[in-house]
Amino acid sequence: MSHSRSPLIHNYWIKQHGLDAEYRREAVRPEDFAAFVGSLAERGYRGANVTLPHKEAALALAQPDDRAKAVGAANTLWLGGGQLHATNTDVEGFIANLDAAAPGWDKGLTTALVLGAGGAARGIVFGLLGRGVETIHVANRTLDRAKDLRERFGPAVHPVSWDETNGLLAGAGLLVNTTSLGMSGQPPLEIDVRRLPVSAVVSDIVYAPLQTALLRAADQRGLRRADGLGMLLHQAVRGFSLWFGVTPEVTPELRALVEADLTRQ
């Protein structure tokens, strides 16, 4: 996608580690995707990131790991052992960002409220279940989509209608926005964070704007929070490691670089 910051992030790490490599964008039509993926090695690629609308196709065309299978979508491909492999790094991007921004966020956490039921929500619910969260309320304007997550992940997921959201805040130790509400050019996310417990953590996966209204409200309330840019940076780590055998770090310098680029837009 033309607005992706992935080239900025990965080329920063490539330069930092002195690698003879380049991360670049390739616009591929859906009807050409299978052929393109099948020729990655011939084109000199070690792997690729995959954006919409190709994430489900990538899952079908590669050998997915358990994480990609559970989420139902792949965003990272790599070549190894003569095969094309697939994973989903949104899961660890979300979890690693929370670990960095709000250390200990999962200690004693029993109930989370996730807004939205799309692809991002699937990865986040998977990650929360992996950290032992017992009850995950998933609120969506289309209730059937929230019910799909219960069918995929089991009885810990509780589908709820959007109208029930504010009533569930008092019992939520973690609030996560996975929708586009609050994103630049989108309608606002109208939710009353004053209903959350004082110990609650707020996470918004939107990173444009950097400071969403939800995060601003969390700051005003004195709640711990994790932003969308942090998730974007942390989800890139594993792909780079799989391609180059080097595990990069998310540093303040890298964050400042991407922040500056976002601010220029």
Active site residues: 55
Quote the CA–CA distance of 68 and 66 in Å, as a whole number: 6
Residue 83 has φ and ψ, to the nearest 5°, of -130, 160
User: Counting beta carbons within 10 angstroms of the beta carbon of residue 168, is it exposed (0 to 12), middle (13 to 18) or buried (19 or more)?
Assistant: middle
Sequence-ordered list of residues with C-beta below 8 angstroms from that of 208, at least 6 positions apart, any chain: 183, 184, 228, 262, 265
Residues 149 and 128 sit within 8 Å (Cβ to Cβ): no
Quote the CA–CA distance of 111 and 103 in Å, as a whole number: 17
Measured CA to CA in angstroms, residue 84 lies from 47, 90, 119, 206, 235 at distances of: 8, 19, 22, 30, 20
Peptide bond into 64 cis (omega under 30): no
